[in-house]
Chain A
Amino acid sequence: DAGVTQTPRHEVAEKGQTIILKCEPVSGHNDLFWYRQTKIQGLELLSYFRSKSLMEDGGAFKDRFKAEMLNSSFSTLKIQPTEPKDSAVYLCASSRDRGTGQLYFGEGSKLTVL
């Protein structure tokens, strides 16, 4: 099986722009997560879907971050408008429904906002 696929791997944006990050989970996995990774905060949960339903929308990230799961095999994370503090690695992960609790992470999308 293919792992979690994320695109683009790198993105450079100007402040105020809209960017869309994409994720394809492992086939057959029902849970999908978006995390933001920074050196200071570590891994912060942005959004969590179970069987395409949004279970958590990340609290503090709600106003400019919007994740969607268009079908069971594709998700997007939109950041609008971007700010320099959004510079980070965005990781997508998937897992089987109520399975082992093991997350399979993609390689991440590194975002730099100038």
Chain B
Amino acid sequence: ILNVEQSPQSLHVQEGDSTNFTCSFPSSNFYALHWYRWETAKSPEALFVMTLNGDEKKKGRISATLNTKEGYSYLYIKGSQPEDSATYLCAPPGEAAGNKLTFGGGTRVLVKP
């Protein structure tokens, strides 16, 4: 069973501020990392699938970087807006080359107007 850790567990951000948080995962036998955004009462929404060391992905004001050698990924939110309030989950596959995901506990972001 993979050990996937996300920190911090929760984050309060003032509207307009930028923020970032971390996902740590085992660096051995890495294949991919998935990021999801999960708003309350909705379905988890896929943000990124990252595969290569040094990869950087961007979607609007949200971006993510990947370091497979040291086993971490950062997710950044630039100029946070109230609609960014959600739980952000990262998940590498739990076994080689498959997509059975092992989720971290998530970082809960609350953006205050």
A associates with B? no
Binding site for A on B (CB under 8 A): none
